[in-house]
Structure 1
Amino acid sequence: MEGAGAVCAAHGFGALSATPEAATAKAMTTAHRLAASQGARPIAAYPLTLIVYILSLRVALGSATVAVVTASGVGLPLLAGSGVHPEIKVLAISCGSIAFSHVNDPGLWMFKEYFNLSVIDAIKARTTYTTVLSVLGLGGVLAMESVLDALSV
């Protein structure tokens, strides 16, 4: 738990910088320094991927854009001290943001009109296929992560 506290503290210090890039760089540098001083081990890759995926699920926030921005902001401090591939985390966040389509999603209304469905039928169909797409995408991301780990890239 000490490593997680160090990462959260590092993110707070980074927020005081003038630009987002400086904040990110400062947070990552501080997180690495604090984690090393406490003898923290890197966070395992798979649980971190699942965490950012779950954070990006738009069912809690309503909007895919808001879900992506929120998960990115919350996931940055976790990523800073982990030593895992940031590209994998971006893909996991993207997959999480497409799940659970509901009434405030403009795509749902287009889907409903194009296929001449009732609102209930459109919600059932679109939510089902976007959630399946999201879970399959997460499976692909986890597979890609294990390939990168096996290749030591």
Structure 2
Amino acid sequence: MMRVWMLPMLFVLCGSAVAAGLILRGDPGAAVATLLGFVVLAGVHSPLVFPRSIGAPEAQRRSAVDGRPVVFWRPGCTYCLRLRFRLGRRARQLHWVNIWRDPAGAAAVRAANAGDETVPTVFVAGRPHVNPDPAWVREQLPQDRP
């Protein structure tokens, strides 16, 4: 649990240190702007940006029932962020598995990537696709859901 919040906490701590230095120099406006920037970075890299993660076995079970893709991701991954933001609201239609929280998910990603934990790895109909184009992922979603 703590591991997924390490990067966001690091951003907030670094931002606080830089902002404190700017305040000591007498530039509170720059301090506020800097701290705000670091807080935004922390938010973007936090698990709050992604839909709620579920375990790999549950995601695979649900995918078999509804045909929606399963996305294996981890916090701090810029390619995962790119996929999440480019999918927009439709990202909630996928099943998301955080490999830092789910050992079975990490094992599935390693099995699909010759031992590497390369994310995002998207499973569509049981076949892995490493860092696919977000437009392609959008096309894989069932069309009967808006």
Q: TM-score, length-normalised on structure 1?
A: 0.29
Q: Normalization by structure 2: what TM-score?
A: 0.30
Compare the two structures and name the one with the higher strand fraction.
2
The structure with the largest helix share of the pair is 1
